[in-house]
Amino acid sequence: MTLRSILVPVRGDGLGEGVLDHALALGRRFDAHLDVVHCRPNPEDLLPFGVFVPTALKQKITASAGGLANEEEQRVKALFEDYCQRHRLAVAPARPWPEGRVSVSWREETGKQAAIVGVLGRLADVVAVAQPDHSRNLGLNTLEAALMETGRPVLLCPPAPLAGPLGVHVAVAWNGSTEAARALAAALPVLAAAEKVSLLSVTTGAKETLAPAAVMDYLSDHGIAAEAESRTARASEVGQTLLLAAREAGAGLLLMGAYGQSRGRELIMGGVTQHVVDHADLPVLLCH
């Protein structure tokens, strides 16, 4: 069991290096390939929708937008090249990717980042994205596309620097849901490579469908030993309880199923996933 490729979308928002740091830390455990994609905006998307724009003005807008996109592309690519040099990463422009070491490639795509990630991510083993920045209205659409449209595990990368290697100690959030089971299966390579796995469950008084003991048996079938811990909390406090339990256990990565109820309802009513997405201070591997 292994991870072979990690999709890493970047843009000139200042968050790219942090996401690369997380992707690289995970990739080093598997000698994976980092597929770095920069999404440049389509000038046509900048035109006002449903409003007539004279041809001359349209040409002026698209030409100006194209020039800015070229400058942004050159700037971000220069940052990428500097990053590769500092971390001594092997740049592999085409398949087959090198084996036995981490490799990286760069490509340009034109269009909205969320739409591109939603398609390209379907053939990646993991999609790494920045934790959304609500104050700047950045990243939420990309995270949503990665989770809802790719069918792949998504590595949520908070802005805080990594404290150490990623994936050495993994905490698994378990509630018996389909999403939690899917996350467990999708992340088996990560769990198998971990030195320690902690199974975290939070009891809220609701009836358990699959107890942690059954999960321990499932992991044992795959040669993975885990330690179980259960805490009690109100339903509205499950998210913060999971984050606290993961921190106190010393885990460097939290694995969990995402949006067991609809994302729209979570945004309005609040929910476990939304709390973790908004408040996580450690990397989180999410699967919907």
Could you write out the three-class secondary structure of 54-82? CHHHHHHHHHHHHHHHHHHHHHHHHHHHH
Distance, first Cα to last Cα, the chain: 21
Q: Which residues contact 160 (CB under 8 A, 6 or more apart)?
A: 281
At 214 the pLDDT is 93
Q: And the tokens for 243?
A: 């984050």
Is there a domain that residue 124 lies in? Answer: yes
Is there a domain that residue 26 lies in? Answer: yes
β-bridge mates for residue 38, sequence order: 10, 108
Is there a domain that residue 246 lies in? Answer: yes
At 267 the pLDDT is 46
**Domain shared by 66 and 202, yes or no:** no
**Domain shared by 17 and 147, yes or no:** yes
Is there a domain that residue 89 lies in? Answer: yes
- Maximum distance among all alpha carbons in the chain? 68
Domain end call among 97, 125, 157 = 157
**Domain shared by 153 and 10, yes or no:** yes
Is there a domain that residue 162 lies in? Answer: no
At 61 the pLDDT is 60
Q: Which domain holds residue 215?
A: 169-287
**Domain shared by 180 and 131, yes or no:** no
Q: How many DSSP H helices and E strands does the chain contain?
A: 10, 11
**Domain shared by 40 and 123, yes or no:** yes
Is there a domain that residue 268 lies in? Answer: yes
**Domain shared by 33 and 139, yes or no:** yes
Q: And the tokens for 190?
A: 């990560």
CATH number at residue 56: 3.40.50.620
Residue 196 and residue 225: Cα distance in Å, rounded? 8
**Domain shared by 92 and 29, yes or no:** yes
Domain end call among 124, 157, 190 = 157
At 222 the pLDDT is 96
User: If we measure between CA atoms, which residue out of 179, 174, 254 comes closest to residue 219?
Assistant: 174
User: If we measure between CA atoms, which residue out of 53, 24, 50, 51 comes closest to residue 36?
Assistant: 24
Is there a domain that residue 163 lies in? Answer: no
At 265 the pLDDT is 46
**Domain shared by 92 and 233, yes or no:** no
Element containing residue 104 per DSSP (H, E): strand 103-110
CA angle 203, 208, 214 (to 5 degrees): 105
Domain end call among 94, 123, 157 = 157
Is there a domain that residue 32 lies in? Answer: yes
At 151 the pLDDT is 94
Number of structural domains, the chain? 2
**Domain shared by 231 and 272, yes or no:** yes
**Domain shared by 13 and 50, yes or no:** yes
pLDDT tens string, the chain, 288 residues long: the values are: 689 999 999 988 888 899 999 999 999 999 999 999 998 877 666 555 555 657 666 666 666 656 677 888 899 999 999 999 999 998 998 888 888 999 999 999 998 999 999 999 999 999 999 999 888 888 899 999 999 999 999 999 999 889 888 999 999 999 998 999 999 999 999 999 999 999 999 988 777 778 899 999 999 999 999 999 999 999 889 999 999 999 999 999 999 999 875 555 444 334 899 999 999 999 999 999
Residue with tokens 């950045």: 138
Ramachandran angles phi, psi of 158, nearest 5°: -70, 160
pTM (global) more than 0.95: no
**Domain shared by 9 and 132, yes or no:** yes
**Domain shared by 24 and 148, yes or no:** yes
